Amino acid sequence: MNGEPLLILLVEDNLDHAELVRRSLAEHRIANRITVLTDGQSALDYLFRRGAFTDPASSPRPHIVLLDLRLPRVDGLDVLKAIKQDDDLHTMPVVVLTTSEAEQDIVAAYRHYVNSYLVKPVGYDDFNKLMQDFGFYWLGWNTNPYPEQQ
């Protein structure tokens, strides 16, 4: 990645969960920037540079999307579908980070080409460990075809 800052787009409507993600990643020095959006429509507008996000300088392409499933306005699965169906965005890694362990949710996410599906642990220590492992794998060890920063 040539030393460029890592950018995570976190789409999470629960602000407590978003703060846990921020703290965990900061504690392990995993990401340089985290953009948090609280609903699916805002995520789509950000990624497709619509509305308030038309300027590429204020809506740079993330290196990875952390996506909750149960979101207001547009469901997380619909956000995932839109990303994976778009010629410019489909290679962007999307990791579902949700409380749902329902088999139907897991299957649906993989049918729409999610790159990984993570279930949020209940305890802080377990959640912190999950975020550390996520960071080391997805942002450290894994090699991705990152989208151009347009």
pLDDT tens readout for residues 15-47: 988 998 888 888 877 667 899 999 999 999 999
Q: What are phi and psi of 102, to 5 degrees?
A: -65, 130
pLDDT at 8 over 80: yes
Looking at this protein, which amino acid is placed at residue 4? E
For a pLDDT cut of 70, what percent of the chain falls above it?
90
pLDDT tens readout for residues 72-89: 999 999 999 999 999 999
Distance CA 28, CA 131 (A): 9
**For residue 4, what is the DSSP state?**
P
Pairing verdict, β 94-98 and 64-67:
parallel
Residue range 4-8: mean pLDDT, rounded? 77
7: left (phi over 0), alpha (psi -120 to 50) or beta: beta
- Residue 2: the pLDDT is 47
Q: CB atoms < 10 A from the CB of 60, how many?
A: 18
Helix (H, G, I), strand (E, B) or coil at 141: helix
Q: What are the strands, taking DSSP E only, across 39-137?
A: 64-67, 94-98, 116-119
- Determine the length of the chain: 150
Q: Which residue has the higher pLDDT, 7 or 140?
A: 7
Tokens for 129?
């460990």
Residue range 46-62: mean pLDDT, rounded? 93
Q: Could you tell me the pLDDT band of residue 90, with boundaries at 50, 70 and 90?
A: very high
Domains, the chain: 7-141 (3.40.50.2300)
Inter-residue contact 41 to 148 (CB < 8 Å): no
pLDDT at 150 over 60: no
The contacts of residue 64 (CB under 8 Å, 6+ apart) are: 8, 9, 92, 93, 94, 95, 138, 139, 144
pLDDT tens readout for residues 110-130: 999 999 999 999 888 898 889
